[in-house]
Structure 1
Amino acid sequence: MKLDFDTRAKPGQKWYIALGMEGSANKIGIGIIKQPIGDPSNPENRSIILSNIRDTYNAPPGQGFMPRDVARHHRNWVVRIVAKAISEAKIEINEINCICFTQGPGMGAPLQSVVIAARTLSLMWKIPLIGVNHCVGHIEMGREVTGANNPVVLYVSGGNTQVIAYSRQRYRIFGETLDIAVGNCLDRFARVLKISNSPSPGYNIEQLAKKGGKFIELPYTVKGMDLSMSGILEFIEELTRRQNEKIEDLCYSLQECLFAMLVEITERAMAHVNSNQVLIVGGVGCNERLQEMMNIMVKDRNGYVYATDERFCIDNGVMIAQAGILEYRMGGNCQIEDSVCSQKFRTDEVFVKWRE
């Protein structure tokens, strides 16, 4: 099947330019990319990042962020960040082909704040609107940056934990969390420790874990291809209250246990689909220890691990622009009346029309 990415190209047009708007959690990100005419899978036609601006709402230590506070933060910053992104990209508004926004999953109030801004810009500037699945945005950005061909994807973030592989124009979910996500588990443990939320709770736990070395046995809950983390969190919270163990050792043990579970289900998915590539995406994907453990497993299978740095692992507008521009080039469009956000927009609901 030959895919035609240039049905919307005008005579003499050399580029498509997309503005992406992300605001599903405590980060608001605006990104602008341009993509050459031609097949995007060709390395010579890769996207060029023109700007990638982001601002984070951080709650005080020991507290999580409330949706209403995050939504207020996004409303306060969205206009300034859009203006800064366009200025940094050095483009004119009439050069933008589409405005892409996160349609879900995520926190309801923050999602609504950004979609209202996206609708407003679309109407003001008369530019088509494209709704993007947050998870698919992570995957497409990861594929674009790393050049991974057809990997098993481990998607790990504050709100999502999934093992995914592509088949027949869908990103199929092979395994996922049955309760809380791995990022949420780490964030909630950081609240118990009352450590700073800046730059992120998971990053601060990672730094404490590097100082630990004693492994404390924790519940290990893998159920087939799925896993559960709420029981592990409750168990380690009780250990913390008893104050019999060093905080650094608790952080080290929590990471080792959670990441071992992730590696196990990822390896099982690799065996099932006969793949030797793993792509790690999502905010927790920045964790160096997770990347190290995954690499040990994948090397035994004579494979490769692909991961990105914090510019693309952590929620950002560029990833929304990347997935959105692929949808746009295949004829996609989102009418204003259809631009409704969903907190439960599953990865496998998206018809991936831009892949064969």
Structure 2
Amino acid sequence: MVIAIGFEGSANKLGIGIIKDGAVLSNVRHTYISPPGEGFMPRPTAKHHQEHILDILKKALEQANIKPEEIDCVCYTKGPGMGAPLVSVAVVARTVAQLWKKPLVGVNHCIAHIEMGRLVTGAQNPTVLYVSGGNTQVIAYSQRRYRIFGETIDIAVGNCLDRFARVLKLSNDPSPGYNIEQLAKKGEQYIELPYVVKGMDVSFSGILSYIETIAKAKHDKGECTAADLCYSLQETVFAMLVETTERAMAHCGSDEVLIVGGVGCNLRLQEMMRIMVEERGGKVYGMDDRYCIDNGAMIAQAGWEMFKSGQLTKMEDSWITQRYRTDEVEVTWRND
């Protein structure tokens, strides 16, 4: 029996979760929400994490009904992510590990999403679409690594959606991507946008620039609605993601797709992916916002796997990195 506590704070979500042999005992989260039309910046985001982390830690322990002495390892997000928020949370994790005299495990944020997805959905060896505000990757496991088959060559899909939400002055509560999704449901007119797939990679920055121009030219003149723009943007970028995921499935001979990351909560993306995968005789695994959006339980789950396989982080190596690629990590806990 192994109990792991996970600290997540790579962006605007601060989370602490506790896992006991695959069972989620607690998963407490608090989100920094910036004003409409603005993104979240590193310094105020880090300040938010610093102000709330001890309260979140107390709640996580209380909900799990766990005492510090019962915990076997302390896990934290090593990267990728925003520097200041990552450091703020890592400092607390390091301090807690030393106070409680527990081993420390530095976790790759992307792999934590995958391992949490595998735990929650039961997917065995899926092709993974990882879509969030900071990352867009098509991934598959092979020979003790999570291999990146394709990715964005500029901004992430979540960043694209978030930045367009700012153009429309949509609220950031609960998230700009969620509010775009709701508005897109009311769209009636599809506006053709650039479709940029380059082999297995995708590009979103040009699409964003183009739709920003369209918004000023047509929306401001009443030729289309904000809902039409959101609908068109979603349909275009999600079609690109489905295409590259299908190509990876074909290459790997896979019949499973697991969608992880904050954008993975989007029901339209899940629907489009399901249509493609079912045509291939496969199955799509998706999650809701409890585990799709950044959370502490996913860090605890990945750390739990690493701890059990002997992967620990020495205190002198417990730094953070804003750039920590998925395929850098040796997956010592999988034998398939």
Shorter-chain TM-score tier: over 0.9
Residue equivalent to 1:44: none
Please state how far the C-alpha of 1:331 moved relative to its aligned partner.
1.2
Residue 213 of structure 1 deviates from its aligned partner by: 2.0
Supply the distance in 2 between the matched residues of 1:219 and 1:323 (Cα, whole angstroms): 37
Q: 2:229 aligns with which of 225, 245, 250?
A: 250
CA distance in 2, matches of 1:285, 1:346: 19
Aligned partner (choices 85, 94, 117) of residue 110 of structure 1: 85
Q: Name the counterpart of 1:120.
A: 95
1: distance between equivalents of 2:49 and 2:35?
Answer: 17
1:67 partnered with 2:42: yes
Residue of 222, 225, 249 corresponding to 2:197: 222
Q: Could you tell me how far apart the structure 1 residues matched to 2:177 and 2:12 are?
A: 14
In the alignment, residue 17 of structure 1 is paired with which amino acid? I
User: Are residues 1:233 and 2:216 paired?
Assistant: no
1:30 correspondence with 2:9: no
Aligned mate of 1:153, from 114, 128, 152: 128
Matched, 1:48 2:34: no
Q: What's the counterpart of residue 286 of structure 1?
A: 265
2:29·2:56 contact (CA, 8 Å) conserved in 1? Answer: yes
1:93 paired to 2:72? no
Of residues 239, 251, 255 in structure 2, which corresponds to 1:276?
Answer: 255
Aligned to 1:338: 317
* Aligned equivalents of 1:118, 1:235: Cα separation in 2: 43
Identity %: 66
Q: Deviations over 1:57-113 (max 9, x none)?
A: 011000011100000000001111001100110011100000000000000000000
Give TM-score scaled by structure 1 length.
Answer: 0.92
In structure 2, which of residues 177, 181, 186 is the aligned counterpart of residue 202 of structure 1?
177
Task: Give the match's secondary structure for 2:173.
Answer: coil
Asked whether the equivalents of residues 98 and 130 of structure 1 are also in contact (C-alpha less than 8 Å), the reply is yes
Kept in 2: contact 1:239–1:245 (CA 8 A) = no
In the alignment, what sits opposite 2:33?
58
Q: 132, 142, 165: which one pairs with 2:117?
A: 142
CA contact (8 A) 2:189 2:224 kept: no
CA distance in structure 2 between the aligned counterparts of 1:70 and 1:330, rounded to whole angstroms: 33
The whole-number CA distance in structure 2 between the counterparts of 1:176 and 1:103 is 21
Note the C-alpha offset of 1:285: 0.2
Distance in 2 of aligned mates of 1:85 and 1:238: 45
Runs of 4+ in 1 over 2 A off after TM superposition: none
Residue correspondences, number: 331
**Structure 2 equivalent of residue 353 of structure 1:** 332
**Contact in 2 for aligned 1:283/1:310 (Cα 8 Å):** yes
Q: Tell me which residue corresponds to 2:244.
A: 265
* Structure 1: distance between partners of 2:190 and 2:255: 30
Query: SS of the counterpart of 2:319?
Result: coil
Q: Distance in 1 between matches of 2:57 and 2:128?
A: 30
Please list every run of 5 or more consecutive structure 2 residues that lacks an aligned counterpart in the other structure: none
SS in structure 1 of the partner of residue 84 of structure 2: helix
CA distance in 1, matches of 2:44, 2:66: 32
TM-score of the aligned structures, taking structure 2 as reference length: 0.98
